[in-house]
Structures are given as structure tokens and as C-alpha cells.
């Protein structure tokens, strides 16, 4: 599905979606194909379910979104930093 199709099928809804086909252009994700993973009653429920699914399936490209947004604008950010456990191990 395209974002326009998702919005038409689920107006004014919180969703957890998965990017099935996507690429990055100028620092933003461009989605060619999306799948609706779950409908949620509110934003906090969507965030909670998103976190659960990310923990269970870290390799999947998941997002929680509201279909009230005309565009699906996701900025890709590079992770800069270290994990807390890594930092404490190196100090020993």
C-alpha cells in the first residue's frame, strides 16, 4: 500500500506500520510499499505496541503514525554515540 491508500482505508487512526519497500533520499525515507501491522485506539497504545514489536522484531522497519498527517515524513538520523553498557565495560 501507499501512504495515500493507508490514509483512505484508516482515516483519523493511530497505526503501527511496516515499510516493506523504502529508500532514503536527501535524508528522508521514501516509502514505496507499506503494510498496516496494527490499529490502535490512541497514540500511547500505538507507541506501546510499536516498542513491543521493535523488541520482538528488531530487523523490521516499523513506525507508529497517525493518518491525519497528509505526508509520511520520516527523517533518517545517524546514530552517534555509544551504549551505556559499552562505556562501563571500557572503564574497567
Q: What is the pLDDT of residue 88?
A: 53
**Whether pLDDT at 76 is above 60:** yes
Instruction: Tell me, yes or no, if the pTM score tops 0.85.
Output: no
Q: For 3-58, what is each residue's pLDDT tens digit?
A: 999 999 999 999 999 999 999 999 999 999 999 999 999 999 999 999 999 999 99
* Domain map (residue ranges) of the chain: 3-78
At 77, the pLDDT band (50, 70, 90 cuts) reads: confident
Q: Which H helix or E strand runs over 4?
A: helix 3-9
Q: What is the pLDDT of residue 87?
A: 53
- For residue 77, what are the contacts with CB-CB under 8 A and spacing of at least 6? none
Helices (H) and strands (E) in the chain, counts: 3, 4
Amino acid at each position: 500500500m501507499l501512504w495515500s491508500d493507508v490514509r483512505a482505508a484508516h482515516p483519523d487512526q493511530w497505526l503501527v506500520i511496516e515499510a516493506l519497500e523504502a529508500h532514503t533520499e536527501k535524508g528522508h525515507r521514501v516509502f514505496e510499499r507499506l503494510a498496516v501491522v496494527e490499529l490502535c485506539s490512541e497514540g500511547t497504545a500505538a507507541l506501546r505496541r510499536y516498542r513491543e514489536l521493535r523488541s520482538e522484531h528488531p530487523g523490521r522497519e516499523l513506525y507508529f503514525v497517525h493518518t491525519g498527517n497528509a505526508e509520511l515524513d520520516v527523517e533518517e538520523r545517524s546514530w552517534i554515540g555509544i551504549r551505556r553498557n559499552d562505556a562501563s565495560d571500557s572503564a574497567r
